[in-house]
Amino acid sequence: MLEIKVIGLGGIGCALLPPLARYLHYAGTGGRLTLVDGDAFEQRNLPRQSFRAAGNKARVKAEELAQEFTGLSVRAIPEFVSPANASDLIRNGDVVFLGVDNHRTRKVVSDHCERLPDILLISGGNEWTDGNVQVYCRQGGRDLSAPLTRFHPEIAFPGDGSPADASCDAAVTAGAPQLLFMNLAVASAMLNAFYAWQQGGVRYGEVYLDILAGRSQPVERGGSRE
């Protein structure tokens, strides 16, 4: 059974989940969806995020999806990812969608995935009208593409805080405003990468997007497909 973890239920996660859940439900491939986020939904999130109730984002969204897609197994983990819980949250063979707003969490997740023999990690991030998606795939203990940190020193040596670190919370939440359409574009690119992987392989390790230019650019990121 496909184990899918969606980490971070902000603008990207909220855009990604409805089509992902619908796909898993109707594609007949089976799968279990685990939603991971320690944050609570607030009214200020409304312009870009859809939640039917107040409360922990993972719990509220899991309940919504379970009601809509009754045959789909959905569970919630109301925690932020940290080095302490990464090995419990992310297991060998998982497919991980990562839509967080800080490089420190990206590093924690990528570093952990490097220690697993088989993993697909799809990470998305954006600014106002541009963004990128990184695809880290390991198979049989071998990198088919580069981890998030290899070509991105800003992730390898993050200068920001993690929401798992309470002292850094203010810095993380003080981000600039975002555009709903850009979140949607990144979420779509993440799902496209997942589908390509299901179809036999992702031919790129990263894809850049710019919605004003109307362009995307895939780039290979190391590893070889044999």
Partner 1 sequence: MSEELRQASATPSAARTGAPVRVLYGIHALEVDVAGRSVAEIRHALAQPLNISPRAIAVVDGEVVAEAHLLQAGQQLEFVRLAGEKGRA
Site residues (CB under 8 A) for partner 1? 10-12, 99-103, 106, 123-127, 130-132, 134, 148, 151-155, 160, 175-178, 183, 186, 208-210, 213, 215-217, 219-222
CB contact at 8 A, 161 and 106: no
Shortest Cβ distance from residue 21 to partner 1 (Å)?
21
Tell me how far apart the alpha carbons of residues 73 and 209 are, in angstroms, rounded to a whole number: 32
* C-beta separation of 76 from 62 below 8 A: yes
Nearer to partner 1, 83 or 175 (CB): 175
Write down the least CB distance from residue 184 to partner 1, Å: 13
How far apart are CB 85 and partner 1 at their closest, in Å? 21
Single out the residue of 64, 3, 76 nearest to residue 36, CA to CA.
Answer: 76
Q: Would you tell me the crossing angle of helices 57-68 and 11-27 to the nearest 10 degrees? A: 30
Instruction: Provide, rounded to whole angstroms, the least separation between the CB of residue 206 and partner 1.
Output: 8
Compare residues 20 and 24 and give the one whose CB is closer to partner 1.
Answer: 20
Nearer to partner 1, 118 or 160 (CB): 160
Nearest to 8 by CA among 85, 110, 88, 123: 123
Q: Which residue number, 5 or 13, has a Cβ lying nearer to partner 1?
A: 13
Output 11 or 25, the one with its CB closest to partner 1. 11
Structure tokens at 137: 């795939």
Closest CB 66 distance from partner 1, rounded Å: 26
Helices (H), the chain: 11-27, 57-68, 86-89, 103-114, 153-156, 169-173, 180-198
